[in-house]
Amino acid sequence: MENKLVYVVSDSIGETAELVVKAVASQFNGGGIEIRRTPYVETVEDIEDVIFQAKNNHSIIAYTIVIDKLKDYMDQRAADESIIAVDLLNPLMNAFIETFKKPPSKQPGLIRKLDHDYFRKVEAIEFAVKYDDARDPHGVLKADLVLIGVSRTSKTPLSMYLAHKGYKVANIPLVPEVTPPEELFKIPRFRCVGLVITPEKLNEIRKERLKSLGLMAQTNYARLERILEELDYANKMMKQIGCPIINVSNKAIEESANYIIEDLKIERRAD
């Protein structure tokens, strides 16, 4: 089936509109939707270009435009050409105006201003990259959180996700033949979280990983006996440290991160 197109148009970067479109598309199992983003729309000519493309491709336009002149032009031209153009911001913006009795700034890109939170996020991402996979164990002492677990328990993806929330995360792989860094035993146990997984799930993940690398799935890395040995070692280390443990077998990254933030209440260190 031919892909259906949605044009995402914004007077800023367009992240918000794209996320909303993806959320809706997910309700149709993806729906064969192709998203084409047009960011930083500044002129009516920019809008005309999108209108032309959308008309010729029988598409939907989803937009986040706060500049009144451009928004009005988009609405008018879409109506002229019988194109469905969905305004993703103004209905909620109008609700704010009506309820809170305060006018909006009508400035594009305010959410991305270089404020304290933005710089915290950038610093946290750089930290996660630098101290990923025990590259430098000294990061353990500087981290808001340290993730430990055997290979393929989502330590790196979870570290990066939490970094985008502003948390400085280091992660340490647990391998029976490798002594964990001594720094791991010097931090408060609540700043360390162990990630565990069922042997069957880990076996499946590792086999797929080997296949993607063009390697034999029967290597020691994916053997069930080796996996059981690693998991047993990891459990002993986690009990020794006394850290909380999350079973990630059937959890999305977002779910694990939310558990860490909301339930375990891991806090960022003071700047």
Q: Assign 105 a pLDDT band (cuts: 50, 70, 90).
A: confident
Q: Assign 114 a pLDDT band (cuts: 50, 70, 90).
A: low
Share of the chain above pLDDT 90, in %: 82
- Binding-site sequence positions: 149-156
Q: Assign 1 a pLDDT band (cuts: 50, 70, 90).
A: very low
| Residue 52 vs residues 36, 72, 80, 83, 123: alpha-carbon distances, Å | 14, 17, 12, 10, 42
pLDDT at position 115? 66
- Residue 176: exposed, middle, or buried by beta-carbon count in 10 A (0-12, 13-18, 19+)? middle
pLDDT greater than 80 at residue 110: no
pLDDT greater than 80 at residue 109: no
Residue 173 has a CB neighbour count (10 Å cut-off) of 20
CA dihedral (191, 165, 251, 217) positive or negative: negative
Domains, the chain, in order of start with CATH, read 4-112 (3.40.50.2300), 116-263 (3.40.50)
Q: Over range 104-123, report the average pLDDT.
A: 78
d(CA 147, CA 127): 13
Say what the pTM is: 0.62
The tokens describing 78, both together, are 């879409």
- Binding-site sequence positions for ADP: 149-156
pLDDT greater than 60 at residue 11: yes
240, containing H or E segment: helix 224-241
pLDDT, tens digit (0-9, with 9 covering 90-100), for 185-223: 999 999 999 999 999 999 999 999 998 888 887 789 999
- Cβ proximity of 16 and 63 under 8 Å: no
Share of the chain above pLDDT 70, in %: 97
pLDDT, tens digit (0-9, with 9 covering 90-100), for 33-58: 999 999 999 999 999 999 999 999 88
Task: Give the least confident one: 22-36, 154-168, 195-209.
Answer: 22-36
pLDDT, tens digit (0-9, with 9 covering 90-100), for 223-245: 999 999 999 999 999 999 999 99
d(CA 131, CA 237): 20
pLDDT at position 271? 61
| Residue 66 vs residues 86, 201, 228, 238: alpha-carbon distances, Å | 13, 47, 56, 51
Q: Assign 2 a pLDDT band (cuts: 50, 70, 90).
A: low
Q: Please state the φ and ψ torsions of residue 223, each to the nearest 5 degrees.
A: -70, 135
- Residue 182: exposed, middle, or buried by beta-carbon count in 10 A (0-12, 13-18, 19+)? exposed
Closest CA to 152 of 218, 204, 192: 204
Residue 92 has a CB neighbour count (10 Å cut-off) of 10
